[in-house]
Amino acid sequence: GENVEQHPSTLSVQEGDSAVIKCTYSDSASNYFPWYKQELGKGPQLIIDIRSNVGEKKDQRIAVTLNKTAKHFSLHITETQPEDSAVYFCAASSTGANNLFFGTGTRLTVIP
Amino acid sequence: NAGVMQNPRHLVRRRGQEARLRCSPMKGHSHVYWYRQLPEEGLKFMVYLQKENIIDESGMPKERFSAEFPKEGPSILRIQQVVRGDSAAYFCASSKGQGNTGELFFGEGSRLTVL
C-alpha cells in the first residue's frame, strides 16, 4: 500500500517568514495530494490540493508543488501569521482508491 | 449548510464497555469514511461506507469493531469490549463522490478515553 512520510515533525518560524513542509510517497499510482490543517481540538480542514497533471498550485499565501518523478510534494506558506499555527497533514490517494493515506503531521508554530 | 456532525465529542468508557460513535454526513453526501487518530499521529483509515453498504473495511480491526450506515439516520462506529488501546480520536468524513474524486470534509471528531 501507499506510504506517506512527512518532514519536519515540528517547525517554528517568526511571523512573516515562510514555512515549508515536505512529503514523500511510495505508490507511483497516487495522483491526488491534499493538505489538511488541524487546529487544536478540531477536525482536519482541507486547505489546498493538487492533482498529478499539474506541478504547482497557488492560493493566496499557500502553494503546493509536486514532483512526480521524485515522488514528493511540498506545502509552502508565505508571510506566516500566528493564526497559521496548527498541525498540517499531507495525504495521497489514487484514482479509485477508497481512502487517503496521511503523513504523520507537522506542528507549525508561528512566533509573533 | 451544516458540516459533518459527530457525537459525542467526548466519551469515557471503562474497559469492557461498549462505545458508539455517530456521524451525520454533510447534506447531499452519500459517502462516509471513518479514520482513527492516535495522539501525535496522523489519521489512519478504518472503513468506507455508502448507504446500507460497507465498501471497504480494510483498515478496521476484525474483532470488536463494526460500522454501519443505515438507510435512515447517521453512520455508527461501534467498539465492543473497549480496551485502553482504543483511546483515540475518531474522525468521520464525508464526500459527494468516491475517494479522491471529491473533497473529504471532516467532522470535529469523537475523543474516546478508556479507563
> In terms of pLDDT, which residue wins out, A100 or B14?
B14
CA of B105 to nearest chain A CA: how many angstroms apart?
A: 7
Q: Which of A43, A97, A102 sits opposite B42 (nearest CB)?
A: A102
3-state secondary structure of A97: coil
The string of pLDDT tens digits covering residues B45-95 is 999 999 889 999 999 999 999 999 999 999 999 999 999 999 999 999 998
Query: For chain A, how far is it from start to end, CA to CA, in angstroms?
Result: 41
CA of A42 to nearest chain B CA: how many angstroms apart?
A: 5
Residues of chain A with pLDDT under 70: none
* CA distances (Å), origin A67, targets A18, A52, A78, B53, B90: 20, 9, 20, 37, 32
The confidence score (pLDDT) of residue B99 equals 53
Q: How many CA atoms lie less than 13 Å away from B62 in the CB half-sphere?
A: 0
